[in-house]
Structures are given as structure tokens and as C-alpha cells.
Amino acid sequence: MKLKNLKREIKKELLLIINYLLNYPLIFKLIGIINKKFKIIENIFIAYPANRAYAEAYAYKRFYPQMKWTPWIAALLKHKKSFGIMMVVSATEEDFLDSANLKNLQLMVKRTEIIGNLLGVSQITYSGVLPGILHKHCIRQSYIEADITINVILASEKLILSQLGFPSDLPLIILGNKGFIGTRLTSRLNNREYYSIDFQSPNAANVKDWPFHLKNKPAVLINVSRKFVMTNYIHLFWPELIIINDVYPESSREEIQKISEIGCSFYHVSGVKGRSWPRFPKVYKEGLPCCGTTYSKDPSVIVHKYC
């Protein structure tokens, strides 16, 4: 445990030094002169902490106010033959949802676009709920994250069903169908049998549209809602249900335990094969979050099996 803590402290010290040395417009411009010629760095990925553990992985608490809306260099990413830079802010999902922070959101995006232009990157992506919130407020015009994420979800489902020996046309339950990803995911399902479930209340699950007739039959639930929403539906699950979670962050121990007791097959989409220096924390440590990669029609996915 002491060695693990020491490594974490060393990582934060190195990131602090990197930001003091490199996180300036002039430095980005100089790097961009080279990058525009050789096309080494293709994307910038903006992430935020899902919880305290993620925040502590990249910066000391005393710097959180400074980096709340100002992107902080956090990692170098490699996906296939291209490189990217991950930058983080300390603002949380609750901050993004607060309408009082709309100007801060706009400023964060503007700062990111300035860095992207200076570096000459071809793609800027945002993690978690950010693409949907930026879309809602018409802050951005391009949302490549949706296409990347949906390709990863569909590839993950295909891989899981193949490993379990099920056909690729099992009935689907889409939890979060009216969200930024959910609406786009359902449009890609063609003639597949699926059931859309929209979470409406923080205190109770919306069961009006729940496909009770599928109980005790093999089916797939894809969760693209928001954190902690799926907990409200666990009492409706059955052993033959295959659950694929694509919500950031990963499920809590309590949620995993409850689903395990039912007997479901439960998976988390951990991202895409690639390298990160330093590594991502927790369940994402073996690869890259899908929004941190460049677009691919056939992504090499990483799926974590809970139970």
C-alpha cells in the first residue's frame, strides 16, 4: 500500500511539473508548429473526476480551484498509430448540470479549442455527460464522441454475446434511451427488437414501459443513462439478463453485489485497447476510455466482467 501511495504521489508531482513547464499558449504554439507538419498528436480529450478517487489520481486538492474550468495536462494517449493529450478539469457532473455555470462551460470549451488550434489537432472530445450537456446548450457543433461511443458499445455487445454463446439478435433493453447517447444508439439498431426505458424520477424507477414479458428469457440490458440510475431497476432483473454498463464511473460494490446475487451476467465497457502515460485509474487502467480515442469503425474493445 505504501509503494502504491508513493507511485501516486510521484505521478502527481510529475504532472505538476509538466503543467508548470508546458501548459502555456506559447509552448502549445511551438509544439503545434512541429505537429502540423508531422501530425503526431491528433486529439485532445477533456476528462473530469467522477469521484474523489479519480480527482486524487491526477492532482493535489489545493490545485482543484485553479483547474476547475481550466484544462490541466494529465496524460499522453496512444491509440493505434495516433497520439493524443488528455487534459482534466476538477469541475464535477454536478457543476456541469448547474445552469449558473453556463459561462464557465463556454469558457472551458473556448480554452480547449484555443489549445486545439495551437496544437493543430483534428479532434477534440469530452468525457461522461459533458457532450450531452454541451449539445443541450448549443456550445459545440461536432459530437464525434457519440459515434465513437456507440461503435464501442455495439462492438462490446457483439463480443460478450459471442463469448456467452448467444445469437447477436437477443432482445435489447436500453436504459437511458432519451439521453445524448441513447437516442443515437436506438437509431443504429435497425430492425432489432428493443425496449426503451427512460429514467424520470430520482426516487423511483419508471416501470411503465418495462418489458416484463422477457423475464426468465435471455435478453441484454445496455445502460447509457447516468451514474446510480441503474440501481433503481435492479429489483426488476432476472438471472438470464445480460447487463452491459457504459456509464462513467464504474458500478459501486453495492450495485455489483446486488446484481451478482440475482445471478445476472454483468459487464462494464472499460474502453478501447491503447496506451496511456500515466495509466488511467481503476477499471480503465488496461486501455483508454472510448471518448479518448480517435474514431474507428471496428474498435478493439476492452470489457470488464463483474459477475
Confidence tier at 3 by pLDDT (50, 70, 90): low
Is residue 278 a part of any domain in this protein? no
Measured between alpha carbons, how far is residue 218 from residues 107, 214, 215 in Å? 47, 8, 8
Q: Are 251 and 226 contacting, i.e. CB atoms less than 8 angstroms apart?
A: no
163 and 299 co-located in one domain: yes
Identify any residues that bridge with 47 across adjacent strands, giving them in sequence order: 88
What are the backbone angles phi and psi of residue 251, rounded to the nearest 5°? -65, 155
**134 shares a domain with 249:** no
89 to 45, 63, 66, 67, 285: CA distances (angstroms): 11, 10, 9, 5, 19
Q: With 50 as the cut, is the pLDDT of residue 132 above it?
A: yes
3-state secondary structure of 114: helix
**Residue 229 structural domain:** 146-272+294-305
Domain assignment of residue 286, yes or no: no
The model's pTM is 0.91
Same domain, 166 and 266: yes
Q: Are residues 6 and 134 in the same domain?
A: yes
Confidence of residue 284 (pLDDT cuts 50, 70, 90): confident
> What is the CA 204 to chain-centroid distance, rounded?
25
Whether 178 is covered by a domain: the verdict is yes
If asked whether residues 257 and 152 sit together in one domain, one would say yes
Decide which of 88, 122, 142 is a domain's last residue: 142
The set of cell numbers assigned to 61 is 486538492
Q: Are residues 125 and 250 in the same domain?
A: no
pLDDT of residue 158: 96
Amino acid at site 103 = K
Is residue 202 very low, low, confident or very high in pLDDT (cuts 50, 70, 90)?
very low
The backbone torsions φ and ψ at residue 96, rounded to the nearest 5 degrees and listed phi first, read -65, -35
Number of separate domains in the chain:
2
Last residue of a domain, one of 105, 121, 142: 142
**Does 236 have pLDDT greater than 70?**
yes
Q: What is the 3-state secondary structure (H, E, C) of 155-222?
A: HHHHHHHHHHCCCCCCCEEEECCCCHHHHHHHCCCCCCCEEEECCCCCCCCCCCCCCHHHCCCCEEEE
Show the cell assigned to 21.
513547464
Q: How many other β-carbons are positioned within 10 Å of the β-carbon of residue 12?
A: 17
10 Å Cβ neighbour count for 169? 10
Return the pLDDT at 223: 96
Note whether 73 and 110 are same-domain residues: yes
CA dihedral sign, ordered 76, 88, 144, 26: negative
228 is a domain residue: yes
CB of 175 within 8 A of CB of 229? Answer: yes
HSE at residue 75, side-chain half, CA atoms within 13 A, is 26
82/133 Cα distance (integer angstroms):
28
Q: Determine the Cα–Cα distance for residues 59 and 306; give it in Å rounded to an integer.
A: 29
Same domain, yes or no: 164 and 300: yes
User: The domain spanning residue 261 has which CATH number?
Assistant: 3.40.50.720
Residues 125 and 161 in one domain: no
User: Do 199 and 87 share a structural domain?
Assistant: no
55 or 180: whose pLDDT is higher?
180
Place of cell 464504474: 250
Residue 265 lies in a domain: yes
Do 75 and 194 lie in one domain? The reply is no
Query: Residue 126 falls within a domain, yes or no?
Result: yes
241-245: strand order across its sheet: 194-197, 172-175, 219-223, 241-245, 265-272, 301-305
Q: Which of 45-49, 71-75, 141-145 has the lowest mean pLDDT?
A: 141-145
pLDDT of residue 50: 79
Q: Which of residues 142, 173, 199 is at a domain's end?
A: 142
- Is 277 domain-assigned? no
Residue in 114, 18, 110 with CA at minimum distance from that of residue 58: 18
Mean predicted confidence (pLDDT) in 110-114: 97
Strands annotated E in 138-240: 172-175, 194-197, 219-223
280, part of any domain: no
Average pLDDT for 279-300 = 88
Indicate whether 137 and 245 sit together in one domain: no
